[in-house]
Copies of this chain bind each other. A is one copy, B any other.
Amino acid sequence: MTALATALTPSHLRLLEALFPGDGLVTRPEEMAVFGADSSRRSALPWAVVRPRSEEQIVELLRWAEAEKMPLVPRLRGTGMSGGAVPAFGGVVVSTLWLNRVIDIDASDFCAEVEPGVVTAEFQALTQKQKLFYPPDPASLKISTLGGNVSTCAGGMRAVKYGVTRDYVLGVRAVLPGGKICDAGGRTHKNVVGLDLTRLFVGSCGTLGIFTKLTLKLLPLPESSATVLAAFGSLRGALEGAHNVFRAGILPTALEFMDAVACRGIAQIRDVPWPKDTTQAVLLLKIDGSASALPGDLDRLTRALSQANPLCLLKGLGPGEEEPLWEIRRLVSPAAFQLGPDKLGEDVAVPRGKTVEAVEGFQAIGAENDVHVACYGHLGDGNIHVNIIYDAGDDGQRARAKACKEAVFRLTLSLGGTISGEHGTGITKGPYVSWQLSETERSLMAGIKQVFDPSGILNPGKGWV
């Protein structure tokens, strides 16, 4: 493989100026800084930032970049948690935020065509107007984009019932290094012609191509929903409650949990509806369906939970009653900072039945390393957000937090889990990928990468290699 360019030359810059006139090219460091960071709190200064307005510009860019061996780092809103969009190994950042048209939302085909820069929540609002439903709901949905969601295979709370972003991508149009366009998949809900390039693009973190259009699958919008919050005196009690729900044949839309540390953090910033002294875990469940079915299904859900003897149980039928309960859930992440100024936010996943063992283990690892560990998240998927809270100004705490993170990964893998359920590996988890993936798997991935991007110009150094 030819070596990549290590800097932008004056002639490179002149080409970029011609291709991206006006504010399409950003080169002043103070303006570029924001394009070099993401929600991982890592950052690096791009060599330049280009902001295409059309697919044609992206085609030209990829032709040039392939010829010049110029590293490119695709980017949208930078809400990723693992540094996937940070140009940590240099290169030109390509922001496709201006490709933000909703091309089509079709209530007959039950699909939509969008450009990558469309904000997820705005798209969902548009679909709802047509009584359509795009289920994926990463926590960032109000600010993140569909292109970013597809690029990371974003998850979310509704994954228990509805699956993740992958399950709603019918087609991906992407420009490849060299400027060729790959138009994988399409508007049909079933399609088995050839290898599944569409899903290969999903979760590929900008390493295979730059998306210019996505075709998404939509569902009919459920008529109604209901939410239950239940507090338990033990983590095992909470998991028994969750298990009873599944055993009753109920597939909840969402099944979230918060451990004792997370509950205590929230109690420090607002009134909470659970008994503060005895609560060790809280479950939050949502169900949806027809208006006529919901009251009966809600009864069935509360009966299943009640068999596990919750300390308290609150119900909400319909968005007005449900919203206050979900507001509590959204406070977990900010509440973690009540316990310390910095955190490592991991998102491991374990087989669903291993959740108690995992959370008890993570708590013990926190205790051993003398750092706070708050666990919460998507119990229904075994996808646990492990917040390791510490003070980065303290060398000892910083080292202990890192040791804690590594122990969390080791325990996760020993339970048959994965080091990332929905955030991706980016740069923060890059060094640990080989703990999970075998040499055979990594070499297949490297081989596939080379088929799409023979010079390795797209988002170098990220992921699995």
Closest to A421 in B: B190
When each residue 414-450 of chain A gets 1 if its CB lies under 8 Å from chain B and 0 otherwise, what string results?
0011111111110001000100111011101101111
Closest 9 CB pairs of A and B: A108-B353, A293-B293, A447-B451, A292-B296, A190-B421, A194-B464, A109-B351, A187-B351, A188-B349
Does B200 contact A199, Cβ atoms closer than 8 Å?
yes
Q: Told that A188-B351, A194-B442, A250-B290 touch, could you supply 13 new A-B pairs with CB distance under 8 A? A: A152-B192, A181-B440, A188-B383, A188-B416, A189-B352, A189-B382, A190-B378, A190-B421, A193-B433, A193-B436, A197-B444, A220-B250, A290-B300
Cross-chain contact A195 with B190 (CB below 8 angstroms): no
Contacts of A248 in B (CB 8 A): 220
* A180: interface (CB < 8 Å): yes
Selecting from A43-51, A162-170, A318-326, the interface stretch reads: A162-170
- Which residues of the partner chain B approach A437 to less than 8 Å between Cβ atoms? 193-194
| Contact present for A200 and B200 (CB under 8 Å) | yes
Which B residues lie within 8 Å of A421 (CB)? 188, 190-192
Q: Which of A193, A290, A299, A441 has the most CB of B within 10 A?
A: A193
Is the CB of A371 closer than 8 A to any CB of chain B?
Answer: no
Complex contact B292–A191 (CB within 8 A): no
Question: Is the pair B197, A445 in contact by a Cβ cutoff of 8 Å?
Answer: yes
| Complex interface bits, A349-385 against B, C-beta within 8 A gives 1, otherwise 0 | 1111110000000000000000000000010111100
- A109 contacts which chain B residues (CB < 8 A)? 351-354, 382
Q: Of all chain B residues, which has the CB nearest A378?
A: B190
Contact B422 A110 (CB under 8 A): no
Question: For A300, what are the chain B residues with a Cβ–Cβ distance below 8 Å?
Answer: 290, 292
A292 surroundings in chain B (CB, below 8 A): 293, 296-297, 299-300
Identify the closest chain B residue to A350 (Cβ). B188
A462 → chain B closest CB, angstroms:
11
Residues of B within 8 A of A463 (CB): 194-195
Interface membership of A21, Cβ < 8 A: no
Give chain B nearest CB distance to A292 CB in angstroms. 3
Contact at A190–B155, with CB atoms within 8 Å? yes
Interface string of A281-314 (1 = CB under 8 A from B): 0000000011011001101100000000000000
Query: Which residues does chain B contribute within 8 Å of A187, judged by CB atoms?
Result: 351, 416
> Nearest CB to that of A419 among chain B residues?
B193
A381-B187 Cα distance, complex, nearest whole Å: 11
Q: Specify the chain B residue showing the minimal Cβ separation from A190.
A: B421
A290 near B290 (CB under 8 angstroms)?
A: no
Which residue of the partner chain, among B189, B197, B220, B436, contacts A349 with CB atoms under 8 Å?
Answer: B189
The A374-423 residues at the B interface (CB cut-off 8 A) are 378, 380-383, 416-423
Counting CB contacts under 8 A, is A246 at the interface?
yes
Min Cβ gap A178→B in Å is: 10
Residue from B166, B190, B221 in contact with A418 in the complex, judged by beta carbons closer than 8 Å:
B190
Q: How far is the CA of A383 from the CA of B188 in the complex (A)?
A: 8
Q: How far is the CA of A182 from the CA of B433 in the complex (A)?
A: 16
Q: How far is the CA of A183 from the CA of B440 in the complex (A)?
A: 9
Residue of B188, B202, B222, B223 touching A382 (CB-CB under 8 A)? B188
